[in-house]
Structures are given as structure tokens and as C-alpha cells.
Structure 1
């Protein structure tokens, strides 16, 4: 049985498993992640493989994920703030030289890191504040070419590298009784089944407060989750709203109960976006996963 060290994070409720990238092939990463995400194992909404020394994150399905990127920011801060193996985050996931821990409740200065993330074509900058077990992490993204297309009344399709989102605005598209079935129909209707990752997001604004409900399908990982938070979905909604008005800062409430704050700005002539919100450490340890050829042994008489 392969044993993997892991850490489990909650970036705004979007539970994320992070494993060390030890050179597994993408298909093997996908297989291991599917096993670990099973509620009978670790559970979670998504999984990624991290090579901290190289500053790289690959999602199990090769997709792009803002919230998993933000979780890596917290992971980097945790490894830097920890004193050694007992307090370090995980074997195989440490990076650089750990600093003395001191008072675990002491204030640590803001730190900035840069990582490469699957599906995204430029480095993701991470601005991290706080200390274990709760941080505030902003993912700063250089915006690439993207498209926003109205595909039917009240529905816009936002295409970003590594992921696309179909935004369904009320009252034309109220929340359905069976969101999984309706999302599957919408993905099929708009030919999104073969996208690396496709979200269907119901959103509304009530008394000035934006909120959203994201359901995300990742093709290669074979997962479909009604997520408690979606960073790229919040970014897509902000881009769509900014196109129709002067507003450039948005606080979007997520199903998990916390908001993601999205700001759009220009830096050195480049169009940028920041997605900011809480990240908490849920658990860390080791998991033993079954071999692919494992079979249930027949009972002995």
C-alpha cells in the first residue's frame, strides 16, 4: 500500500488535499487523488501535488485552481514558521530553512511567494499574512487573454486558462432543486464536457451583497463537486461584472460562509487580479492507499 504524507486545507471552505510531488506520472497522481478524495478516506473537494523547492503546484486533473494556490501560500508560510520535523508541515513537503517557532501565537510578517500552477500560463504571486492554523492569502494573477460570451439569456461563459465557468444569473436562472442534474445539462448544452475543468455557477446580488453557488467538474480527475468556495469562479464573476460598469472591487460570499475579495487593477502596465480570503489548516499526516491491483480476498472457510 503506497503511503503518502498529506496536508488538508480549507481555503474559504474549498477543502483541498496537498501531497508531495515526488515525480509521479500525471495519471498516477489522478488515481491517488481519486482514492484520497473518497469520503471513506480523507475526503475533500480537490487535490494537488506540490514541489515546494521548485515552487510548483499541479492539480490532480491538470486544471487551474485559485484556492489550491492560496493553500500553497499558507503551506509555505507554515514551513517557514515551523521549527523542525516535529512542528514542520510534512516530510517531503518542507522548503528552505525553517525559522525558530517561538510563540506560536506571535505575529509573523507578511510574506510573498511565487509559484507555477497547472493550467495557468504565468507565475502566481501569493501574499500571505497570519500564522498557524489560520492565514489570509491573496493570489495575485496576471490576467491573460480571456473571453466572456453571452450564450443564452442570463448566462455568460467565461474562459480562463485551465478552467471555464458558466455564470447563471438570477432571476432568469434561480437555484434548481437538483443542481448536479441541471449543471450536467448545461455543460452538455454548451459543449463543455471536454473542457479540462468547467464550473456552473449560480449567482445573485441582494441588497448589495454578491453570493454564488459553484458546481465544478474536472474532466481528467473525474470529479464533480458542489464546492464551498471557488476562487476562479469568483474571479470570473468579477470580470463579468466589471465589463458592464466601473466597479473594480468585489466581495463575493461563498457557500462555506466566508467571502472571497476580488480586486482588478493595473501593475506596470499589466492587467492584474487579486483573489483574497482565509485559509485554514485542517489536518496533516500520512495516508495509506490501496494498490491498483488490490482485490478483496475471499473469505476462508
Structure 2
């Protein structure tokens, strides 16, 4: 089969956007075949669909998860297709029960987006030494882990403990180095049974920023989180100690439409 795709590059978190109309039951098979194509070095796959709310278009990720980098990339693509150089577009994405605004600058190749607030932040202890916060978004949970090496063994140990506790579509573990303000994002998607050591992670960035903003009560907490593929900026808005708004932003590059056969 031949498919039409756009290759998105938000901080090297390579995201394939499939433009053809694909039935949901085929997402996993097609996504896995695309991810195995080393030509692209893709870390995730999303499928364009008709909107079901009030967005211009909808993007459904391969496992029904939420993804902040894919959201920014998709907003930029929609803006480009509608010949919007600078402005705001409203789109939909899996893992969010409302449409979301993406502020696009196609001239300078950047996009920022407001992301949904987490349902909860819960501290989890999985052994005598290891306790960490889990930031619970619809569509994906993120654990922020300090002082632990980012490797497959540690990831599997933490992932298996968390997945036994929660019924979730996707889990990210952000291995955080506070001295460098650096995360190594590792993301597991249940439906495709894929684990990726990602170059960057948008929702993982904002989860880490939330963790770092503890103690900030009535202001905007801004930080830039370094990761293997680049930098993602974040903004945490708080009022009376409550989080009221979350924003991530940074560079995004898009390819023209590419035809692939898989």
C-alpha cells in the first residue's frame, strides 16, 4: 500500500503524520511498519481524521495517546495548508476531550500550544528507595525520576510497577538531571507495545516543568528543558497555588508530502 505522509521534526522527536483515511483498527499495524522503517527514524505516528468537535482537523495518535509535540506539529501543518504564516489554529488530538489552540509561526518555524491540565499529580513509591511524582494527563501519564540512570533495565522496572497500578494508554518516564535541566524521555505506548527512547517529549517537558514549579503560587513559571534532540520551552500559569494554564513551545520543521510504500 502507498500512503501519503508528512514528516514533522519538533526537537528531533520525529513524528509521522499519515494523511490518508485509515480505520482505527489498522493504526497499530501501520504505525509499527512505519516505525520499523529506519529511513525516517520516526518515534511516533499520528493519523489525520475528520474533526469530532470544533477543530479544523483531528489527529489520532497510534495508541490513542496524547502528545504535545504532535499537537504543535499538526497545528503547524494545518496552518501551512491554509496558507497561515502567523496565527492561531484550533485542532483536535487524541487524549484531549476538547479542541486546542496552536500558535503558529511558519516563517520562523516555531509553534506553541496550550495543553490540557493534568487530572492529578500523585507520588508513587515502588520500593524502599524509589519514590517519584506521576503527572496524570488524559491519554498519558509521566513519571519524573531523579538520580536514576536512563537505561532499559531501570525503565522496565519502573514501567512494570506503574502499569500494574493504572490502566493507561501510554506512560512516559522522564529521567531528570537537575544540574543540567535535562530529561531523557522514554515512552511506552500500550496498544502498539512500543518503547522509544525519544529525542524529546512535549508532554513530558510540561510534566517536568510542573514538578519544578512546586512552590510557585501566583505567577508564571517559565523554563526550558534540555533533552537529547534539543530544547522545549514551557510556561506554567498559577493563581493561588492552582495551575490554570500550561503552554509548550519551540522549533518545528515540516516536510512536504511524501509518498511511502509499506
TM-score (norm 1): 0.76
Matches within 5 A, 1:220-299: 220-246=191-217, 248-256=221-229, 258-265=230-237, 271-282=244-255, 284-289=257-262
Gaps of 5+ in 1: 82-98, 100-107, 290-301
1:145-160 alignment, distance < 5 Å: 145-151=119-125, 153-160=130-137
Q: For residues 259 and 32 of structure 1, what CA distance do their matches in structure 2 show?
A: 29
Q: List aligned pairs for 1:53-202, cutoff 5 A.
A: 54-81=56-83, 108=85, 110-131=86-107, 135-151=109-125, 153-170=130-147, 173=148, 175-176=149-150, 179-191=151-163, 194-202=167-175
Deviations 1:11-39 (CA, angstroms, capped at 9, x unpaired): 111000001251x3212122111111113
1:190 aligns to what SS in structure 2? helix
Q: Which residue does 1:104 correspond to in 2? A: none
In structure 1, the residue matched to 2:186 is 215
In 2: Cα distance, 1:12 partner to 1:42 partner: 15
What SS class does the counterpart of residue 96 from structure 2 fall into?
coil
Are the aligned partners of 1:139 and 1:274 in contact in 2 as well (CA < 8 Å)? yes
The structure that has the greater radius of gyration is 1
CA contact (8 A) 1:9 1:283 kept: no
Q: Distance in 2 between matches of 1:238 and 1:40?
A: 32
Give structure 1 regions of 4+ aligned residues with deviation exceeding 2 angstroms.
39-43, 51-54, 144-148, 150-154, 189-195, 243-247
TM-score, reference length from structure 2: 0.86
1:268-292 CA-partner distances (Å, limit 9, x unpaired): x981111001101246311112xxx
Aligned length: 250
- Does 2:37 align with 1:39? yes
Shift of 1:47: 0.3
Distance 1:204 1:41 in 2: 31
- Gapped runs of 5+ residues in structure 2? none
